[in-house]
Structures are given as structure tokens and as C-alpha cells.
Amino acid sequence: MSKVVIIDYGAGNIQSVQFALERLGVQAKLTHNTEDILSADKVIFPGVGHATPALKSLQEKGLDKLIPILKQPVLGICLGMQLMCSFLEENNQNGLDIFSTTVKKFSEEEKVPHIGWNDIKFKDGELFRGIEENPYVYFVHSYYAELGVETIATTGYGQQFSAALQKNNFYGCQFHPEKSGVIGEQILKNFLTITQ
């Protein structure tokens, strides 16, 4: 049985992710312990809320150094994904620099936050295996990751941006798979069965 951990660093509603995994029959451990994280088969890095306190909490726990060197599949969700990017416009600060993308604030042309179900266009790959084209997934965020070489799914709100990113063993979803109905469950299931 593979070991799944959810990184617990005080950033919001992480129980939802744990519950979503439970519905898939997976007991995931909430932890910020280095040994636990290093020895896991899969690591989920969630987060909602503000980037600045989240980054501070990662630094205090040494997770900002640990996460980028992980070798097993890692899935960042929402703020988790954004923190994995190189630069964040919120307070102009550096992220964990796993993805080379910049995270920007939505323009005032659109209603912010971007809340609700939006369709995504994805590149074929492990994360979206078995999912029909242009699925609807649930977003809630005020900042977005620009398009880049690591973009594996896009969506549009005002402009096109990254709905999902991937670089080697690192994956990120701007949307919330744990809140995206059966499609989201399939995406989580796909992540859990990625083999390397």
C-alpha cells in the first residue's frame, strides 16, 4: 500500500483534500515532518488564502528547501501550485522556483476572485488520463499562473492562463480536484497511480 502525505503547514482547508482521498479509499497523513514527507510515495501540497503567510510558514518549517528536492510525484493544489512557481506578484516575492512561471493578479476587468466551474483544455498525460476533453473543474482564486513551457492545461478568464503545470515529478493544479466532482476524483486517482 502506497503512502500518501498531505503537507500540513497551516494553510487553510486541507481537510477537504484528506476527505477526497478517503472517498477514494486512501488514508493520507497530514504532516510537515521531513522524514514523513521524504519517505512518502506521493506528496500533496495544498493551500488556500494568502501567499505571504503561507511562504513564511514553509520557511519556518524548512519546507521551502525540502519540497523542491523531492523525487516522488508531488501535486500542488491552488495556492500550493502557485507557491511552486518562480515569482509571485503578491508582495513581489520569490516562490519555490520549481515551475518557471510567474503568478499574477487578475486584472480589474474581470470579477475577482475567479470563482466557479470553468472548462480546461489539457495536453494528454498521466494527470488527465481517461478524462473527456474540456472537462469542467472548480476554481477559486484571485491570482493566476501565466502560460509557460510547463503548462499542461489551460483555461480562460479574461485571458488564458495555466490551469495545470508539470515539470518532471512535479504537478500543479490551479483548480481544486477535491471539489471538482467525479472529474476531480479521477484526476486525484490518476495522480495517485502515477508510476515513475
Partner 1 sequence: MLTKRIIPCLDIKDGRTVKGIKFKNLIDAGDPVELASYYSAQGADELVFLDISATAEKRKTFASLVNEIAQKINIPFTVGGGITSVEEARRLLLAGADKVSINSAAVRNPALITELSKAFGSQCVVVAIDAKQIEGEWIVHLVGGKEPTSLRLFDWAKQVVKLGAGEILFTSMNNDGTKQGFANEALQKLSTRVNVPIIASGGAGSIQHFADTFLLGGADAALAASVFHFNEITLPNLKQKLQSQAIAIRL
**Closer of 79 and 150 to partner 1 (Cβ):** 79
How many beta carbons lie within 10 A of that of residue 109, not counting itself?
8
**Closer of 64 and 178 to partner 1 (Cβ):** 178
Nearest to 78 by CA among 149, 132, 138: 138
Which H helix or E strand runs over 117? strand 114-119
Q: How far is the CB of 39 from partner 1 (least distance, A)?
A: 27
- Find the DSSP H helices in the chain: 15-23, 34-38, 51-60, 63-66, 79-83, 181-192
Is 146 an annotated catalytic residue?
no
Is 178 an annotated catalytic residue?
yes
| C-alpha cell belonging to residue 118 | 470553468
Q: Which of 78, 114, 141, 173 is catalytic?
A: 78
Separation CA 24–CA 189 (nearest Å): 7
Q: How far is the CB of 165 from partner 1 (least distance, A)?
A: 20
Give residues in contact with partner 1 (CB under 8 A): 12-13, 15-16, 19-20, 22-23, 48-50, 108, 110-119, 136, 138-142, 156-157, 176, 178-182, 184-185
Q: How far is the CB of 113 from partner 1 (least distance, A)?
A: 5
Q: Which of 85, 150, 173, 178 is catalytic?
A: 178
Nearest to 63 by CA among 103, 150, 5, 13: 5
Is 85 an annotated catalytic residue?
no
Q: How far is the CB of 33 from partner 1 (least distance, A)?
A: 20
Report whether 85 contacts 122 (CB < 8 A).
Answer: no
How many beta carbons lie within 10 A of that of residue 46, not counting itself?
26
Which residues form the catalytic set? Answer: 78, 176, 178
